[in-house]
Amino acid sequence: MQKWTRDEIVARIAQDIPDGSYVNLGIGLPTKVAQFLPKDKEIILHSENGVLAFGPSPAPEDQDPDLINAGKELVSLLDGGCFMHHGDSFDIMRGGHLDICVLGGFQVAVNGDLANWHTGAQDAVPAVGGAMDLAVGAKCIYVCMEHVTKQGTPKIVEQLSYPITGEQCVNRIYTDLCTIDLKNGQAYVIDLIEGLSFEQLQQHTACTLIDARQSQ
């Protein structure tokens, strides 16, 4: 079965972020969105450790070990950018000042519930970070993840089986097979990888899907 690559997933997200947005990129795959942001858009990136308006990793001679994002990756500060105490940074998150947050996910339920910090396994290391604050604080939540686990288990489900991060917070899901909008407790497929039928997609999804591609 053909799938979009991880780079292709985040490139699709980058193209969908509106000009002028204030955006937080979660640790892991979401941080790669920064590499694909269109040059003709002004998109202001925020990191929960206290950096606002940052850019890509700088050249070796310009690197500052104290200027990093929440994933401990070196970043550059753009014109007009700033850094702040992490308490002030969390005020931005909790105060509803972020337009979009892109997060990874272990599971997403059809009603928008998100699980992305713990699988419940005894040997798993919980890693919630600022995800709970972002999930309820940002105006819009995009989740990017593989459509199924390595064992083939669907990650888009009717009801979460993993510990919850945020209730009814996810607006859109980007996977390696499709793009899904979550509205009013239903899952609308707005994009689908070429070569995969809607019926095949449904077989890999543990909730009822609605084909909304014709209405785009």
Please report the pLDDT score of residue 57 as a whole number: 86
Total structural domains within the chain = 1
Query: Residue 35 gets which letter from DSSP?
Result: G
| C-alpha to C-alpha distance for 18 and 3, rounded to whole angstroms | 26
Q: Is residue 1 part of a domain?
A: no
Please report the pLDDT score of residue 126 as a whole number: 66
> Which is the catalytic residue, given 8, 42, 48, 158?
48
* Cα angle 9-13-14, degrees, rounded to a multiple of 5: 115
CB 212 within 8 A of CB 23: no
Q: Is residue 154 part of a domain?
A: yes
Please give the single-letter amino acid code of residue 6: R
Query: Residue 122 gets which letter from DSSP?
Result: T
Q: Look up the domain containing 95 and give its range.
A: 6-215
Please give the single-letter amino acid code of residue 70: A
Q: Is residue 149 part of a domain?
A: yes
Concerning whether 61 is annotated as a catalytic residue, the answer is no
Q: Tokens standing for 45?
A: 């990136």
Q: Is residue 45 part of a domain?
A: yes
**Tens place of pLDDT for every residue, the chain, 216 residues?**
899 999 999 999 999 999 999 999 998 899 999 999 999 999 999 999 999 999 888 999 999 999 999 888 999 999 999 999 999 999 999 999 999 999 999 999 999 999 998 877 777 766 667 888 999 999 999 999 999 999 999 999 999 999 999 999 999 999 999 999 999 999 999 999 999 999 999 999 999 999 999 765
SS3 157: strand
Q: Is residue 178 part of a domain?
A: yes
Q: Is residue 100 part of a domain?
A: yes
Assign residue 26 the CATH number of its domain.
3.40.1080.10
